[in-house]
């Protein structure tokens, strides 16, 4: 863990500033979300799983913006580690206002190659931790915070492909479908203390087997001829956290990608020939 914030200033921050826990925020989309929230007055709990260097770099970058930040390690597939995470953030910052469930696994399978192992891998990374962290935020607010704090919010990162389904990345897609359903049910269960929302990105960052050229091409394969950028996603996450009348809703931020049927995942659409079973 890194802690570059003096105790006195941490206490004054805790009194004045809201705190967001962003899972998987050492790099990529989570990092952009963390930086955007920090620019708009949030102190940030940077959750990471891998090597600490990237998380510490992100913490330093966040602190340079003038707020507090701290890195927290957890493998969210480990239930005990996941349950311990939010109490650790509360112990450090004194409060948590928002949880952004951004961390995710994205590994290829298809109905023909489906296995319990593939489903377990994606469910334990993409679905179950988001539910536990939402419940933990609710418990924190029930025990320690005002009854109707309109800022208490969970934002789940989902995927536009739920509205535009195809069998590629089958277990990943199922785990995100469960997360979208959980977003609605948790919004019902955790009201009025905690709001639960979703953001469904289109193709935003180079992922999986895509080449840079394929990514550039895929980014334009939408009705608006542009998919989402990290900034589009980050500002939508912030909008939801700052919108006290919204709960149980997922916003699609994808250049309209979900409006057009696609026979294969966008990962493969820009390729000249579509593999039957990509590796």
Residues that bind ligand NAP (CB under 6 A): 24, 26-30, 49-50, 75-77, 102-106, 125, 157, 159, 201, 203-205, 207
Separation of alpha carbons 54 and 28, rounded Å: 10
Q: How far is the CB of 125 from ligand NAP (least distance, A)?
A: 4
**Residue 35, Cα to own-chain centre: how many angstroms?**
14
Q: Which of 138, 148, 137 minimizes the C-alpha distance to 244?
A: 148
Question: Which residue, 86 or 141, is less far from ligand NAP as judged by CB?
Answer: 86
Question: Which residue, 17 or 158, is less far from ligand NAP as judged by CB?
Answer: 158
Beta strands 18-22 and 42-48, pairing class: parallel
The pair of structure tokens assigned to 59 is 């913490």
Question: Which residue, 5 or 250, is less far from ligand NAP as judged by CB?
Answer: 250
Question: Which residue, 68 or 234, is less far from ligand NAP as judged by CB?
Answer: 234
Task: Measure Cα distances from 194 to 13, 105, 114, 138, 241 in Å.
Answer: 22, 26, 35, 6, 10
Q: How far is the CB of 78 from ligand NAP (least distance, A)?
A: 8
Separation of alpha carbons 97 and 72, rounded Å: 16
**Residue 249, Cα to own-chain centre: how many angstroms?**
15
Q: How far is the CB of 164 from ligand NAP (least distance, A)?
A: 11
Burial profile 218-234: b = 16 or more Cβ within 10 angstroms, e = fewer: bbebbeeebbbbbebbb
Half-sphere exposure of 63 (CA within 13 A, CB side): 18
Q: How far is the CB of 11 from ligand NAP (least distance, A)?
A: 29
Q: What torsion, rounded to 10 degrees, do the Cα atoms 51, 55, 57, 61 define?
A: 170
Q: How far is the CB of 102 from ligand NAP (least distance, A)?
A: 5
Contact 187, 248 (CB under 8 A): yes
Q: How far is the CB of 239 from ligand NAP (least distance, A)?
A: 16
Question: Which residue, 5 or 103, is less far from ligand NAP as judged by CB?
Answer: 103
Question: Which residue, 125 or 152, is less far from ligand NAP as judged by CB?
Answer: 125
Q: How far is the CB of 119 from ligand NAP (least distance, A)?
A: 14
């Amino acid at each position: 863990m890194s802690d570059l914030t003096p105790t006195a200033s941490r206490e004054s921050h805790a009194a004045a500033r809201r705190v967001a826990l962003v899972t998987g925020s050492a790099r990529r989309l989570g990092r952009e979300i963390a930086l955007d929230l920090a620019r708009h007055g949030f102190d940030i709990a940077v959750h990471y799983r891998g090597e600490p260097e990237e998380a510490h770099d992100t913490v330093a970058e966040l602190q340079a913006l003038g707020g507090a930040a701290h890195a927290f390690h957890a493998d969210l597939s480990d239930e005990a580690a996941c349950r311990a995470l939010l109490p650790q953030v509360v112990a450090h910052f004194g409060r948590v206002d928002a949880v952004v469930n951004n961390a995710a696994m994205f590994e290829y399978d298809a109905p023909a190659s489906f296995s319990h192992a593939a489903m377990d891998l994606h469910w334990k990374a993409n679905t179950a931790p988001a539910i536990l962290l939402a419940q933990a935020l609710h418990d924190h607010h029930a025990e320690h915070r005002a009854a109707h704090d309109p800022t208490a919010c969970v934002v789940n990162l989902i995927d536009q492909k739920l509205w535009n389904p195809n069998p590629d990345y089958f277990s990943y897609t199922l785990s995100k479908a469960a997360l979208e359903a959980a977003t609605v049910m948790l919004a019902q269960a955790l009201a009025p203390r905690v709001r639960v929302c979703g953001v469904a990105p289109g193709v935003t960052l180079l992922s999986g087997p895509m080449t840079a050229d394929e990514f550039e091409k895929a980014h334009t394969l939408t009705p608006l001829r542009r998919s989402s950028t990290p900034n589009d996603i980050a500002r939508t996450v912030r909008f939801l956290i700052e919108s006290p009348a919204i709960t149980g809703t997922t916003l699609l931020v994808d250049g309209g990608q979900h409006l057009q049927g696609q026979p294969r995942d966008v990962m493969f659409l820009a390729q000249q020939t579509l593999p039957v079973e990509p590796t």
